Amino acid sequence: MKNIPVLAVWGTTIPEAWENALVALFDHGTEFETQYDRPGDPKSLDCTMNMTIMDPMSEPMIHRDFPGGPDDLQEYVMEVVDGIKDHWVRNPSDPDDKRWEYTYHERLFNYTYTKIRPAHAGNGEWEPDAPCVGSIDQIEAVCQKLAKQPFTRQAQAITWKPWGDPDCYDPACLQSFWFRILDDVDGIGWLNTNVRIRSNDAYKASFMNIFAFNMLAKSVADRITALSGREVKVGRYNHQADSFHVYGKDLKEFKGRFMGNLKSRTFEQRTYPYVGMMQDLMEEAKPQILEKVRKQDENRREQG
């Protein structure tokens, strides 16, 4: 085989589309080595995936077989939407700083960059240009733009930093969000979201990614509603993964747990509603999650 398979799936809900994507990968994916393989690991199963979720806010929203629980999912949502771990991002000017290279929230809401500005000496002469650091809240910029011009094709937020990420051991997987609003016959705006992710662990990470990214889309829709004074809801979501994969080390669990449950359970038995069930459990977990992060902060400080 010389071509990486390009697969496209659809679903009405998040769990339906996620299931369809994993089944398509299992049936039509190809084998690949990765730089993270350990000696003796099987090759990963990989493809390029285009997944469309027609109504991501509709129930059921939760799949029982994603590897995690309500507290794990809530912690990840808070990381992406609220930025509870942004202070874990390392200082790029300090080579001894071993904290994280990025968080998605930090890159989307506080994208930092170095620019050159002319520095005036104050005596009528110009000094050499001096570097300075700037930052931009890309999500707020997107909301402002869409509130004024909902049909714009320029409502985009990116994560990649080409001056540093190519040399990073574990650079950002998420690459961009793109938003556009389509009005229905009743004048309600529907926020359509496209996400591109360069590398996506299909079994261990993609469900949590997709759920959190749609929670971010909801916060964008709510912000545009507040800015524009008209109702904007979450519309269809498109997830483009350049590499949608199951690592070789996880294939046995994936085949036994996920693929096995497709045969032994109905779709209703494989899913949970979010509203009225998982949402309550996730909300209850928030104080414990914040306390967990606080304790981790303390441990980091004690370890220097």
What one-character-per-residue DSSP string does 207-235 give? HHHHHHHHHHHHHHHHHHHHHHSS-EEEE
pLDDT the model gives residue 295 = 94
Where in the chain are the domains? Answer: 6-110+145-302
Q: Are 70 and 64 in contact (CB under 8 A)?
A: no
Whether a cis peptide bond, with omega within 30° of 0, leads into 60 is yes
Between CA 68 and CA 114 the distance in angstroms is 38
- Superfamily of domain 6-110+145-302, CATH level 4: Thymidylate synthase/dCMP hydroxymethylase domain (3.30.572.10)
pLDDT the model gives residue 11 = 98
Between CA 235 and CA 184 the distance in angstroms is 11
pLDDT the model gives residue 155 = 98
pLDDT the model gives residue 107 = 97
Average pLDDT across each block of 10 residues of the chain; the chain has 304 residues. List them in order. 95 98 98 89 96 98 95 98 93 73 95 70 54 86 98 98 88 97 96 98 98 98 97 98 97 94 95 96 97 92 72
